[in-house]
């Protein structure tokens, strides 16, 4: 499988598996189909489900990469340490491959969120130094949120995770993270299904003899962004991985990069959620 290399030298697959609301059977099927990177979070409430699927797979722990996140209510040094330990217990492992802060602000009323982020990061750096975590990351951090961490850290982030897809490419954030050497990951890489009927994506699916979903995922990969698609059927899981088997030409990439804004899921770290 194609790999991306993080700024601390760790290699991760170019495509991961998003586990929000995923069942044990779905995760086990994803392992069978060849996925090796699994993105979860304490908030998802399925870390124990992932543990069962991993155990049933028969694979060694080091053959898989597991990422989890510190939820809003668990931020701060002490709470982060406790939440991390709970995640290890749920996942039945003694280390995580990636640990992220899930959101930069626990709520919109907290004025001193920057100090809380740094305190949370300090705990994560300690876990990293103890080799209990192999890489640290940020989820839903826009550039000015990330700057606060970069100006106050000893261990810089390796990964940043944002909503990213055709029609919502967050160009400024993408370029920012590229310049900082931080690997971007895409949650909702097909815009929660909203983008697969777009006329350009349908056109290109026909041109390349692939599915619209594969066009969306390949767009991410060619932008050097790691998509985290979800799927419940093995056929769809297999199709998602097969997006690595073709290339979108430069002109079509430019067309996809300039699709009008659309498909945004309504989540913004500094605004109330917009219901879609």
Residues classed as catalytic: 44
- Whether the CA torsion 156, 162, 165, 170 is positive or negative: it is negative
- 214/207 Cα distance (integer angstroms): 12
| 137: enclosing H helix or E strand | strand 136-139
Please list the residues that pair with 4 across neighbouring strands: 12
Q: How far apart are the first and last CA of the chain?
A: 35
- 253/81 Cα distance (integer angstroms): 43
Structure tokens at 7: 């700024």
Structure tokens at 143: 């550039």
């Amino acid at each position: 499988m194609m790999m991306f290399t993080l700024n601390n030298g760790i290699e991760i697959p170019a495509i991961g598996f998003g586990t929000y609301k995923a069942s044990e059977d779905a995760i086990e099927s994803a392992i069978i189909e060849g996925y090796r990177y699994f993105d979860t979070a304490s908030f998802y409430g399925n870390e124990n489900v992932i543990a069962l699927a991993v155990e049933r797979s028969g694979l060694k722990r080091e053959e898989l990469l597991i990422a989890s996140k510190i939820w809003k209510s668990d931020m701060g040094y002490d709470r982060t340490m406790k939440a991390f330990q709970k995640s290890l217990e749920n996942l039945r492992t003694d280390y995580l491959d990636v640990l992220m802060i899930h959101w930069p602000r626990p709520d919109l009323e907290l004025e001193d969120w920057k100090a809380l982020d740094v305190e949370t990061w300090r705990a994560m750096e300690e876990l990293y130094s103890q080799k209990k975590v192999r890489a640290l990351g940020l989820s839903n951090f826009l550039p000015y949120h990330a700057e606060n961490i970069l100006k106050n850290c000893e261990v810089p982030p390796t990964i940043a995770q944002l909503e990213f897809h055709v029609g919502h490419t967050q160009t400024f954030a993408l370029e920012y993270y590229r310049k900082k050497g931080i690997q971007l990951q895409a949650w909702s890489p097909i815009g929660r299904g909203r983008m697969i009927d777009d006329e350009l994506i349908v056109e290109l699916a026909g041109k390349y003899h692939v599915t619209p979903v594969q066009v969306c995922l390949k767009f991410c990969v060619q932008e050097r962004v790691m998509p985290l698609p979800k799927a419940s059927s093995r056929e769809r899981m297999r199709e998602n991985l097969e997006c690595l088997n073709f290339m979108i030409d430069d002109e079509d990439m430019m067309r996809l990069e300039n699709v009008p804004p659309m498909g945004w899921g309504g989540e913004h770290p500094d605004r109330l959620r917009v219901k879609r």
